[in-house]
Amino acid sequence: MKPADVCIAVMVAVIWGLAFVASRIALDELPPELMTALRFGIAAVPCLFLRKPKVSWPLLIAISLNLFLGQFLAQSIAIAHGMPVGLTSVIVQSQALFTIAFAAIIFGEWPSRMQMVGIGIAAIGLLMISGTVGHDFSAGAFAILMISPICFAVGNLLLRPAQGARMFDLFAWLCLCAAVPLFALSLVTLGVKPTWQALSQMSMAGIACMLFVGAVSTSIAYWQWGRLLRDHPAAQVVPFALLVPFVGSAASSIVFGERFGPLRLAGMAAVIGGIAIMLFSRSPQPQTKIA
């Protein structure tokens, strides 16, 4: 990779890590459904100037419902119900474990022995983290959050048939497909008047966070990440995603004073270590790109 692309990969990882903190601040002012809808509504603005990519509507909707709607709605609900932001940024990255597992089951792309070791270590880390349930977050919030990496993994696999589309166009339309049902969900669950009141009473900090999460983290960062995956082997690009939980955890510790006990810290380290082993190990068959 060129030095410029390395800088872009690091920048994207930092943006995604900081987005967890920005989302938490926005959730202090907006319900999870509305915050997630606004996120993708902002990111979908380019659709006004872009043609729909040459991807069928069923595939486009299926990708969006998993990669965007399911993943980020689960994150928002879990954070709103007490999941610590730093811990959330680690658990979401377990999508690598589920992506490899689903690819093996569906496509017969069986992982190598070292990747199996990585999967085992990451799974043990998740079990260790689950052992801290009840201290500062509930089992229900943890269960909801686990939907996020699973949807992320399914979205990764569904992206494969759409790899020929232009990345910026594709992600803009994926955001639109997520924003429409999310706004509808917000109107149904909250009502028209409360929805409007929540939007109209946002503070400048809340607006700034939403612009960062929607325009920068979702639109620009995903576009650049997709471009890097298009121009370089996934093995060179994907490991940069390991920076996300470190940035998210550090930022959460500084902004919210989040602290990690010995068991949780060991579990987080095991998850990240297991994912690193999976990503840096070679597979005997062509391996799935983890977006």
> Residue 290 above 80 pLDDT?
no
Q: Can you give the pLDDT at residue 33? A: 94
Q: Can you give the pLDDT at residue 286? A: 46
Rounded to whole angstroms, the Cα distance separating 100 from 90 reads 17
- The 10s digit of each residue's pLDDT in 224-264 is 887 787 777 666 677 788 788 888 888 888 898 888 778 87
Q: Can you tell me which residue has the tokens 């959460």? A: 252
Three-class HEC string of the chain: CCHHHHHHHHHHHHHHHHHHHHHHHHCCCCCHHHHHHHHHHHHCHHHHCCCCCCCCHHHHHHHHHHHHHHHHHHHHHHHHCCCCHHHHHHHHCCHHHHHHHHHHHHHCCCCCHHHHHHHHHHHHHHHHHHCCCCCCCCHHHHHHHHHHHHHHHHHHHHCHHHCCCCHHHHHHHHHHHHHHHHHHHHHHHHCHHHHHHHHHCCCHHHHHHHHHHHHHHHHHHHHHHHHHHHHCCHHHHHHHHHHHHHHHHHHHHHHHCCCCCHHHHHHHHHHHHHHHHHHHCCCCCCCCCCC
> Residue 188 above 90 pLDDT?
yes
Distances 262 to 25, 87, 196 between C-alpha atoms, Å: 27, 13, 44
Q: What is the pTM of this model?
A: 0.85
Give yes or no for a contact between 34 and 258, defined as CB atoms under 8 angstroms apart.
no
The DSSP output letter for 108 is: -
> Residue 288 above 60 pLDDT?
no
The amino acid at 256: F
> Residue 14 above 50 pLDDT?
yes
- What residues does each domain of the chain span? 3-280
> Residue 273 above 80 pLDDT?
yes
262: exposed, middle or buried (C-beta count within 10 Å: 0-12, 13-18, 19+)?
exposed
Q: Can you give the pLDDT at residue 202? A: 94
Rounded to whole angstroms, the Cα distance separating 179 from 247 reads 27
- The 10s digit of each residue's pLDDT in 127-176 is 887 777 666 778 888 899 999 999 988 988 888 887 777 888 899 999 99
